[in-house]
Chains A and B, each alone.
Chain A
Amino acid sequence: EPEVTQTPSHQVTQMGQEVILRCVPISNHLYFYWYRQILGQKVEFLVSFYNNEISEKSEIFDDQFSVERPDGSNFTLKIRSTKLEDSAMYFCASSVAPGGDQPQHFGDGTRLSIL
């Protein structure tokens, strides 16, 4: 079964440093997402991306965050200047199409630890 893959599985970074989280969505999927889950809390939406543009973003996704699809397979999340509160599990997801009953399929996540 095709799956979303994420690298690295664990990233440890000093506060204030930039970090890039990488994702390879399922190959025929056109819609891409990032979510995060702070330990012990619920999964929260960050951003959705289609046709090389952000289609929706949450309040969490401020100017410190950016997303990019640098080539035909990768989808990245960049945090410019990390804060302690950015420590969380970051999940990438993809779907064939938006909306309706189209499910989003999640990667196994990157655990980001900010020191």
Chain B
Amino acid sequence: RKEVEQDPGPFNVPEGATVAFNCTYSNSASQSFFWYRQDCRKEPKLLMSVYSSGNEDGRFTAQLNRASQYISLLIRDSKLSDSATYLCVSRTGGGNKLTFGTGTQLKVEL
């Protein structure tokens, strides 16, 4: 079983739509979680950390459910510039390495 699993997509949505991505992780020792975005052939860029209480940054909301080992990202009012691959990332307690999912591709269209 993959350590971090995501639906690869692509999700094709119209501009202004709300879209949600899900991610599951298999290692119960995972302690920290992040969403990164990656544009084609570019570096991963931190979008936001994910906290147990849920957190919001502008149009982006992240949720963590430790009991279900499930993370989500909600994007409201999608912009064309949101088109990218969204990477779900975990860090296991005691270590520094980040474990990446394969990413979910989002295409926002006019």
Binds A, one of B12-20, B21-29, B69-77, B92-100: B92-100
Residues of B within 8 A of A100 (CB): 32
Closest to B43 in A: A106
How distant is the Cα of A104 from the Cα of B45 in the complex, in angstroms? 9
Is A89 interfacial (CB-CB < 8 Å)?
yes
Q: Are B49 and A48 in contact (CB under 8 A)?
A: no
Cα distance A65–B31 in the bound complex, in angstroms: 28
Q: Check if B91 sits within 8 Å of A56, measured CB to CB.
A: no
The reply to whether A56 and B102 contact each other, CB–CB distance below 8 Å, is no
The digit string for B38-59, where 1 denotes a CB below 8 A from any CB of A, is 1001111110010100000000
A55's partner among B38, B46, B93, B96 (CB-CB below 8 A) is: B96
Minimum CB–CB distance for A60 against chain B, Å: 11
Binary flags per residue of A32-56, CB closer than 8 Å to B gives 1, else 0: 0101000001111100100000011
Q: With A and B bound together, what is the CA distance between A91 and B98 in angstroms? A: 13
CA separation between A98 and B97, bound complex, in Å? 9
Q: A91-B43, A103-B46, A108-B42 are in contact. Are A43 and B87 (CB under 8 A)?
A: yes
Query: Residue-by-residue, is A86-115 near B (CB-CB < 8 Å gives 1, otherwise 0)?
Result: 000101000100111101111111010000
B86 within 8 A of A: no
- Asked whether, in the complex, the Cβ of A45 is within 8 Å of the Cβ of B43, the reply is no
Q: Are A101 and B32 in contact (CB under 8 A)?
A: yes
Inter-chain CA distance A95–B31, complex, in Å, is: 17
Considering the chains assembled together, what is the distance between the CA atoms of A41 and B97 in angstroms?
Answer: 17
B104 CB to closest chain A CB (Å) equals 12
Given A42-B100, A99-B91: A107 in contact with B32 (beta carbons within 8 A): no
Q: Known pairs A103-B46, A106-B44. 6 more at Cβ < 8 A? A: A42-B101, A45-B99, A48-B97, A98-B96, A99-B95, A101-B32
Listed by A's residue number, 9 A-B pairs whose Cβ atoms lie within 8 Å are A41-B102, A42-B100, A43-B38, A44-B100, A48-B97, A99-B32, A99-B93, A101-B49, A108-B42
Q: Which residues of B contact A (CB under 8 A)?
A: 31-32, 34, 38, 41-46, 49, 51, 87, 91, 93-103
